[in-house]
Amino acid sequence: MLPRVADSLSFLYLDIVRIVQDDTGVCAEVTTEQRGTELVYLPTAALSCVLLGPGTSITARALATFARHGTTVIVAGSGGVRCYAGIVPDSLSTTWLERQVRAWADDNQRLAVARAMYEQRFGAGTVPTGTTLAQLRGMEGQRVKAMYRLLAQQYRIGRFRRAYDPSSWDTQDPVNLALSSANTCLYGIVHAAITALGCSPALGFVHSGNQQAFVYDIADLYKAEVTIPLAFSLHNSSHPEQEARRNFRDELRLFQLMPRIVTDVQKLLDPEADLTAPDPAEQLVDLWDPIAGAIPAGVNYASNEGT
């Protein structure tokens, strides 16, 4: 069975296969020395997102079928980590994108979402009422520093200082290398989930000014739980980047990260949304009206009076 995630989204990861369209449907051609070429048919109508890993090729006809069924196709790195490009079909609902834009464009709502992101990291009921955004940033900085100190003591590696310098990449210590690599993997997974929901990765609430701003917002919710402890556990590794990517993939199912990302994004953008409700059926494009809101398209609204 395909892994199910929140709000009835399905994600399928493929690598080292050729995806083609035949008279029956879309299938993946799997070639092995023992069995030759086998066909595995894909349930395109039931898929919301397909992650194409390394060694994957896809024909134009197969890609058109995915688009027709409303399936988002994402070019990803090995194991589904790192997102290089995303193809979003025209039929993908803009429901969550519209909620994101409304919250982002209103300063009060944007502040509320930003506060909710910080409060989620600290834990429910731990943030005093009336705490400003500047104070929350300071509290978050202190929390991360305290975590670095605690893990450094736990693994007996002395004082640790976070550093990210691409120009002197090879001179960095194993923990920094592993943390940078694991965070990149995390960004890819978050990008895939945001794209599948139809949201914009660029419209961030804490971060801004970058096409990945919203990705960084959501990824920060999980670093203290996933990537930071993983990086410190690799302090003696001779290949910290490679092991960080491999271990991160192994832990994805353990933490059930993809369904958590989808649910957290939806709760942040619309805390009152009923996430147990079934997905709405695909609808035609509506027209916007300042009074009525959305009204049906494809209707002639000319007055019947006169000629």
Return d(Cα 117, Cα 215) in angstroms, integer. Answer: 13
Q: What would the two tokens of residue 211 be?
A: 């096409």
Question: Which pLDDT value is given to residue 295?
Answer: 81
Topology adopted by domain 95-269: Four Helix Bundle (Hemerythrin (Met), subunit A) (1.20.120)
Residue with tokens 């990803």: 76
Question: Which pLDDT value is given to residue 6?
Answer: 44
Q: What would the two tokens of residue 278 be?
A: 């079934």
Contact 49, 74 (CB under 8 A): yes
DSSP-assigned letters across all residues of 211-260 = TTHHHHHHHTTTTTTTHHHHHHHTTT-SSHHHHHHHHHHHHHHHHTHHHH
Give me the long-range contacts of 168-174 (CB less than 8 A, separation at least 24).
173/235, 174/234, 174/235, 174/236, 174/237, 174/240
**CATH 3.100.10.20 domain residues, the chain:** 4-87
**CATH 1.20.120.920 domain residues, the chain:** 95-269
Question: Which pLDDT value is given to residue 1?
Answer: 37
Instruction: With a cut of 50, list the residues of the chain below it in pLDDT.
Output: 1-9, 280-282, 307
Return d(Cα 139, Cα 133) in angstroms, integer. Answer: 10
Per-residue model confidence as pLDDT tens digits over 227-277: 999 999 999 999 998 899 888 888 776 777 888 898 999 999 999 887 765
Question: Which pLDDT value is given to residue 3?
Answer: 39
- Of 209, 248, 240, 268, the C-alpha closest to 77 is 248
Architecture of domain 4-87 in this structure: Ribosomal Protein L15; Chain: K; domain 2 (3.100)
Question: The pTM is what?
Answer: 0.78
Q: List alpha helices for the chain, DSSP H.
A: 60-68, 95-105, 107-122, 133-155, 174-197, 213-219, 227-233, 240-255, 257-269
Question: Which pLDDT value is given to residue 185?
Answer: 86
Question: Which pLDDT value is given to residue 215?
Answer: 93
Question: Which pLDDT value is given to residue 281?
Answer: 44
